[in-house]
Every structure is written in structure tokens, then in C-alpha cells.
């Protein structure tokens, strides 16, 4: 298995100040053209259900939610609860089909929840992007899509990938298997930082 080491990564020596600037630009674009923030905080996340006890009784224990059967074999950073998946699908449905200016506040809220509340890994995000909506967006001849919507999506994906750049390699096998794609092209596209090419490959979009 190929592992990305810091010494092999073309981004390691870049200044870190791009993170704050990138986030500002990305959210500014969302108000105009339908943004999507892709977080990449490589945190171990758990979903808990708290059951309140009647007055006078001891609180019920906190029970950790079990992953869905189809995700049980995925590494934990790649698992996605149904609630989060629904938010991702809703986000791209708005971008593809609805007035993104009118829905700007909703896009902002969904993106903020995906990043700040759920800490979705960029691979997880790609795995749950609705294929039909992504193809619709990227294959559209609409000038507004090409000028605003697609660049905004790609800015978010690039930001997430850059933040996780030193921890992507180990997750590529599971990611590729889920996407039903070959590992080697994915690794090559990541190494080249060709994020547009990666999206085209994963979602069968013609150049």
C-alpha cells in the first residue's frame, strides 16, 4: 500500500495562511453562486443518543449509535450518518436545480453544519455527493454554472483535500472501492493535485 509521506507531499511547505483566506473566499462565493464548504478535520467522530430519565431516577446511560450495515466496513472517517448525507444531497440539489441567490442563507447554513458540526472528511463528502446532480452541474452548458457554481464547488473540494493532504493515502483503498474506481488513477490525481480531474474521474464526467 502506498502511503503519502510529508516529505513527498507537494503542499507541505506551503504557508498556512491560505486556510483563513480560502474559507473567507469560499463562503463569499456561496452567497452569489451556491457554495460548498468541504471540511477536512481528521477527527474521530461519534454520534450519541441521550435518553432522558423520569424525574427522580438516575439518568439513562449514553448509547453510542451503530453504523449503518453498508458502512460498517468503512474506516470511521469515511462513515456518514443519514442526516449528514441528506444535507449533502440537499446542498447539491439546490446548486443544481434551484435559485442559489434566493437560497444563499440555506446554502450557508448547510455548509456550516457540514463543516463545523459534522466535520465531514473530503473523501466522505465525495462519496455522498449525488452522482446525477454532479453530472448535471458539470455537464451543463450554462455559463453561470461554469463561471460560478463549478469553481465554487472545486474551491471547497481543494480546500478540504489540502487540509487532509498528509492523511489521504491510507484511505484511498476504501474510498476507491466505495466509488467503484481504480486506486492508481485516484492516487495519481491526488499527487498531481488535479481535483477537477478527480471529480471527472469519480463521476464519469467528460472533460
Q: What is the pLDDT of residues 66-121, one digit of tens each?
A: 446 667 789 999 999 999 999 999 999 999 998 888 998 998 899 889 877 888 99
Give the pLDDT confidence score for residue 84 in this predicted structure. 95
For residue range 10-26, list pLDDT tens digits in order.
Answer: 444 444 444 444 444 44
Residue of 109, 106, 114 whose CA lies nearest to 85? 114
What's the confidence (pLDDT) of residue 69? 61
65-80 b/e with 16+ CB inside 10 Å = b? eeeeeebeebeebbbb
Q: Cα separation of 130 and 128, whole Å?
A: 6
| Residue found by looking up cell 474506481 in the block | 181
pTM: 0.66
Place of cell 491526488: 190
pLDDT digits (tens, 9 = 90+) for 16-60: 444 444 444 444 444 334 333 333 333 334 443 444 444 554 444
Long-range contacts of 90-94 (CB under 8 A, 24+ apart): 91/36, 92/36, 92/129, 92/130, 92/133, 92/134, 92/137, 93/130, 93/133, 94/34
Amino acid at each position: 500500500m502506498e502511503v503519502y509521506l510529508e516529505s513527498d507531499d507537494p503542499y507541505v511547505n506551503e504557508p498556512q495562511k491560505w486556510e483563513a483566506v480560502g474559507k473567507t473566499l469560499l463562503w463569499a462565493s456561496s452567497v452569489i453562486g451556491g457554495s460548498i464548504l468541504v471540511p477536512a478535520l481528521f477527527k474521530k467522530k461519534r454520534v450519541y443518543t441521550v435518553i432522558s430519565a423520569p424525574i427522580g431516577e438516575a439518568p439513562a446511560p449514553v448509547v453510542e449509535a451503530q453504523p449503518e450495515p453498508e458502512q460498517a466496513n468503512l474506516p470511521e472517517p469515511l462513515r456518514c450518518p443519514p442526516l449528514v448525507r441528506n444535507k449533502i444531497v440537499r446542498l447539491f440539489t439546490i446548486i443544481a436545480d434551484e435559485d442559489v441567490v434566493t437560497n444563499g442563507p440555506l446554502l450557508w447554513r448547510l455548509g456550516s453544519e457540514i463543516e463545523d458540526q459534522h466535520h465531514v472528511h473530503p473523501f466522505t463528502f465525495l462519496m455522498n455527493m449525488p452522482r446525477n446532480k454532479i453530472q448535471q452541474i458539470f455537464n451543463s452548458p450554462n455559463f453561470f454554472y461554469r463561471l460560478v457554481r463549478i469553481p465554487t464547488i472545486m474551491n471547497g473540494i481543494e480546500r478540504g483535500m489540502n487540509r487532509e493532504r498528509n492523511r489521504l493515502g491510507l484511505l484511498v483503498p476504501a474510498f476507491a472501492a466505495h466509488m467503484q474506481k481504480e486506486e492508481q488513477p485516484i492516487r495519481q490525481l491526488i499527487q498531481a493535485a488535479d481535483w477537477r480531474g478527480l471529480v471527472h474521474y469519480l463521476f464519469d464526467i467528460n472533460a
